[in-house]
Chain A
Amino acid sequence: MTDTASLPRRNGSAPALRLAKRVAGLALTLAATFLGLLAITFVIGRVIPIDPVLAVLGERATAEQYEAAREAMGLNQPLWVQFGLYVRDALSGDFGKSLVTAKPVLEDVARVFPATLELATIATIFGVLFGIPAGVIAATRPGSLADQLVRLIGLMGYSMPVFWLGLMGLLVFYGELGWVGGPGRLDTSYEFMYELDVPARTGMILIDTALAGQWEIFANALSHILLPAGVLGYYSMAYISRMTRSFMIDQLGQEYITTARVKGMPEWRVVWVHALRNVMVPLITVIALSYANLLEGSVLTETVFAWPGLGLYITHALFSADMAAVMGGTIVVGTVFILLNMLSDVLYRLIDPRARA
């Protein structure tokens, strides 16, 4: 038994090795998931009752033209070879050409994705800004009126069809009250100005106009994004507030909370500093997940608000039987999903000292 205790020295080489292992593991997971993603879209593409050759050539092609095109597209090869080709193309960013726009799918997606990203980001900001405080307040007074209210607001968010809430928002805030801009990202008159006067740096109108100092267009874009972002943000808030509440109740029952109280810390500090820091650890994953869900929720929201983003692109492609575009869009959303998952994993390690190497 020693008289004094000392801190064990950290081993210098182990963390680096662990980090390398983790990165490798993560990359492997990413690759496997991406391959699975491609497999699913490939299978869907094969069961589809649309003949991809006819879709390209049109109904009037001769038999020779048909065969030639079929061969050129690799469709006479065995399935696994076709899949190999598909993976190779996908890895080089080639998802084929859209039938509707006659442009490479990736180019189309790159053009429409910023609109979706802008929408989902602002919605997540709403969700975090309102969801975390609501969840914390509910957790500190379980069973109270405030708690019931937060619970009800959250459950309502879980129960309303997003497209319907969007329509109701349009009806009230645009149709009746005229507080916000209507469908689309800009008024038609501003759309022209935006095309002419604002260099498209990011594709996100709010950022681009701010960078260009075009505050009038900025204001118009803001009035247009508020409603759809608010609608999506409501769902994000519902999710985040419920998870925050549940994590918070968990943490408030922990012994270190008693320690903070024994030290005479005021209640606000116990809750908003001691407990919330611990809540943020799992909450990061929740926020990333909610962000990913918003990208998905944008399919329906963009339809309602005529928001020219990825969701609208995919649904339009769906109705024109433009399968290359549908699958390309699906793969991009899936990839963003995977990347967000990875990001949350990395953030998690940054916030939780126990998870660090």
Chain B
Amino acid sequence: MSGLRAWLIDPAPRSPMQARAGQLWLGWLRLARNPLALIGLLIIVALLAAAALAPWIATHDPYAQNLAGRLQPPLSPGHWLGTDEFGRDIWSRLVHGARITLYIVALVTVTAPVVGLIIGTVSGYFGGIVDTALMRLTDIFLAFPRLILALAFVAALGPGIENAVLAIALTAWPPYARVARAETLTVRGADFIAAVRLQGAGAGRIVVGHVMPMCVPSVIIRVTLDMAGIILTAAGLGFLGLGAQPPLPEWGLMIASGRKFLFEQWWVATMPGLAIFIVSLGFNLLGDGLRDVLDPRSATR
């Protein structure tokens, strides 16, 4: 162990791999020293576990109604988080809702960043009028209030999870385009790009094969920082009735249905909100810690 540690912190690494491993190790040390980031990591691991093992963790069928046992308070026998207005077990619904949350996050993160990446790299690589036009478009989308734009899109497309995802993705790509463009501008003039061009590679091949891979890391960092925002927007659409539709156990939707009983049966609206809060906090804590590691300028020390 100490031998490995010494190898990792060797100030004079003997191979690029050792240098990179050493950097990773130092990064991990910096992250591990931040207890909040570790808590965030723990929360996300728990979320993934809950989603993967939902059928086994849930104590009830999330859709099974039991009108005799409706609106049971937390800690009642068999329902430790209580039941909703149809007598459905809130805990089981939350656990299954984790899947929906992850589904939405996953869909958005494979669409918006890709769109942003394409627009950003094309804009940065070709420059000139292409760049001006695309960046103007980006600025217009950026100047727009995101949630309201998403609302307008959903209104046009009709409610539903996929349309909510589409609406979020349509409003979420501009920051990624900005990041990718900035990265492309620094890469564009590099010698290895010139070398590929001299070998006769076309613009499309250079952008896809050589520029895009260089931009991926910074886009990914940006995505992890945006996860919580995606979750909150999706929940907001659900809350307004424009995202997931009943009887799906989507957390925002569950809050909306609990709103009617807020003052008498507080837990129906409170529990799903806590779930959103904890999961978003997890992403934020981890993202924050990661940023400190990756961007030493914003580090605490």
Contacts and interface: CB of A to CB of B under 8 A. Distances in A.
Q: Do A and B share a complex? A: yes
Interface of A: 29, 32-33, 36-37, 40-41, 44-45, 47-49, 142-143, 147-148, 151-152, 155-156, 158-165, 167-168, 170-171, 175, 246, 249-250, 292-293, 295-297, 299-300, 303-304, 314-315, 318-319, 321, 323, 326-327, 329-330, 333-334, 337-338, 341
Given A33-B140, A36-B136, A327-B152, A175 B262 contact: yes
B252 interface: yes
A264 to B, nearest CB: 26
Q: Which 8 A-B pairs have the closest CB atoms?
A: A36-B140, A164-B273, A159-B280, A296-B145, A159-B281, A48-B156, A142-B300, A175-B263
B81 interface: no
Contact of B148 (A36, A168, A321, A333): A333
Contacts of B152: 41, 44, 326-327, 330
Contacts of B158: 49
Nearest to B282: A159
12 contacts: A33-B140, A37-B143, A44-B152, A47-B157, A156-B277, A160-B273, A161-B232, A163-B236, A167-B255, A303-B239, A318-B155, A341-B143
Given A32-B136, A37-B144, A161 B262 contact: no
Contacts of B252: 161, 163
A334 B297 contact: no
B92 to A, nearest CB: 20
B255 A334 contact: no
B266 interface: yes
A293 B144 CA distance: 10
B148 A170 contact: no
Contacts, number: 152
Contacts of B262: 167, 170-171, 175
Contact of B273 (A155, A161, A326): A161
Contacts of A304: 259
Contact of A33 (B143, B156, B273): B143
A170 B273 CA distance: 14
Contact of A300 (B139, B236, B263): B236
B259 to A, nearest CB: 6
Give the residue among B266, B285, B300 with the most A Cβ atoms within 10 A.
B300
Contacts of B147: 296-297, 299-300
Nearest to B145: A296
A295 B263 contact: no
Interface string B254-298: 010001001100100110010011101101110010000000011
A188 B301 CA distance: 54
Contacts of B143: 33, 36-37, 334, 337-338, 341
A167 B273 contact: yes
Given A167-B255, A326-B152, 16 more contacts: A33-B140, A37-B144, A156-B281, A159-B228, A159-B278, A160-B276, A161-B236, A171-B262, A250-B297, A300-B236, A303-B239, A321-B155, A333-B145, A333-B148, A334-B148, A341-B143
B154 to A, nearest CB: 8
A175 B269 CA distance: 14
Contacts of A142: 300-301
